[in-house]
């Protein structure tokens, strides 16, 4: 969520004057649905939610929490972390070592980690409700570089294509890497960022 957070922050009125440039690497976030550009909730769906029995809703929530809690226990196991990391480091799996695995596992030991995991899962991990990349890209006025890992199985190059369509002035460098280009191919990423920084106005 770092890319979305950076985009969201750079688009705020208070921060904009301080930002000379923005780099996004395989950034998450929602795009508006072309068939529902305003993101309006369908009346039928809203009415259906309102008519749900409170007891049934409570049971559903409890069951959902139980399932996600078990999922969290499985997900934070070192072997499972390593398995997932190897999927998102498709070009250089040697980068997936015990140190990287532990850096991912360590936060899961926090007493509140399970609750954070639950909230991310139930909100689909896409950031604040009703905040779209489309609106944030429209607000930023600084130069933008997309430094995109081409082989990311999670956030594919199509997301970068959408950003380019919404912000034609942005630059884009495709990196031979997966979801973490800065770690999997740091030389290419550092070179791209260095070149981008030299083009920024003082």
Structure tokens at 199: 């083009």
Whether 142 shows a pLDDT value over 90: the answer reads yes
| Torsion region of 26: left, alpha or beta (phi above 0 gives left; psi -120 to 50 gives alpha) | left
Q: In this structure, are residues 109 and 139 in contact, taking their beta carbons and an 8 Å threshold?
A: no
Which domains are seen in the chain, by residue range? 1-30+126-202 (3.40.50.1820), 42-124 (no CATH)
Q: In this structure, are residues 201 and 20 in contact, taking their beta carbons and an 8 Å threshold?
A: yes
Query: Could you read off the pLDDT of 105-116 as tens digits, one per residue?
Result: 999 999 999 998
Query: Could you read off the pLDDT of 25-66 as tens digits, one per residue?
Result: 999 989 998 766 665 555 555 555 555 688 888 888 889 889
For residues 129 and 198, what is the distance between their CA atoms, to the nearest angstrom? 36
Question: Distances in Å between the alpha carbon of 43 and those of 46, 50, 113, 122?
Answer: 5, 11, 35, 22
- 177: which residues sit within 8 A by CB, 6+ positions away? 89, 91, 92, 149, 150, 151, 152, 184, 185, 188, 189
For residues 152 and 116, what is the distance between their CA atoms, to the nearest angstrom? 24
- pLDDT number for residue 94: 95
Structure tokens at 152: 């990311």
Instruction: Give, for 23, the enclosing helix (H) or strand (E).
Output: strand 22-24
Question: Which comes out higher in pLDDT, residue 34 or 179?
Answer: 179
Q: Which of 192, 85, 183, 81 is nearest to 144 (CA)?
A: 192
Q: In this structure, are residues 164 and 146 in contact, taking their beta carbons and an 8 Å threshold?
A: yes
Check: pTM over 0.75? Answer yes or no.
Answer: yes
């Amino acid at each position: 969520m770092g890319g979305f957070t950076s985009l969201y922050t750079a688009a705020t009125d208070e921060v904009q004057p301080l930002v000379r440039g923005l780099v996004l690497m395989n950034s998450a976030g929602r795009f508006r649905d072309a068939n529902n550009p305003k993101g309006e909730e369908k009346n039928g769906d809203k009415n259906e939610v309102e008519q749900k029995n409170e007891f049934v809703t409570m049971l559903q929530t409890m069951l959902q929490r139980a399932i996600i809690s078990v999922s969290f226990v499985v997900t934070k196991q070192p072997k499972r972390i390593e398995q997932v990391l190897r999927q998102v480091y498709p070009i250089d799996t040697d980068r997936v070592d015990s140190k990287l695995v532990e850096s991912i596992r360590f936060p899961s030991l926090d007493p509140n980690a399970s609750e954070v995991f639950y909230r991310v899962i139930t909100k689909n991990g896409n950031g604040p409700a009703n905040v779209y990349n489309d609106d944030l890209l429209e607000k930023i006025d600084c130069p933008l570089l997309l430094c995109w890992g081409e082989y990311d199985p999670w956030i594919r190059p199509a997301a970068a294509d959408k950003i380019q369509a919404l912000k034609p002035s942005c630059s884009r460098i495709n990196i031979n890497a997966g979801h973490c280009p800065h770690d999997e191919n740091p030389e290419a990423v550092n070179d791209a960022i260095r070149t981008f920084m030299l083009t920024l106005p003082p």
